[in-house]
Structure 1
């Protein structure tokens, strides 16, 4: 899998989690633990996307 396709897959997952969070928050009895967990998962995916898009230069 190329880096570009991996990033595209991560972006797809990121959007899906965002929709899931929005759906959960529309419910009057939304599960705050579930929402918090989804937000952490979304952040980990975003961090991974940034790491792949902008790798840190190696020091020699």
Structure 2
């Protein structure tokens, strides 16, 4: 998963880039230490990615 997020972040810009980079950090942390707290942080952050994309005019769905 972190590799796919990084690939998406490589093409993003602005606020979307910032949120995708943060998502990559959360995913990498969760992958190395799969605690409930790390998982919750990663999954909750996905809302920030969705909102940044929506604000940039590129609405996405991560379901």
Question: TM-score, normalization: structure 2?
Answer: 0.52
- 1:1-60 matched pairs, under 5 angstroms: 4-25=13-34, 35-54=35-54
Runs (4 or more) in structure 1 with deviation over 3 Å come to none
- Largest Rg, 1 or 2: 1
User: Take 1:24 and 1:44, find their aligned partners in 2: how far apart are those partners?
Assistant: 17
Distance apart, 1:6 and its partner CA: 1.7
Unaligned runs of 5+ in 2: 1-12, 59-63
User: Take 1:52 and 1:17, find their aligned partners in 2: how far apart are those partners?
Assistant: 16
Determine which structure has greater relative contact order: mean sequence separation of CA pairs < 8 Å that are 6+ residues apart, divided by chain length: 1
Question: TM-score, normalization: structure 1?
Answer: 0.54
Aligned residues: 44
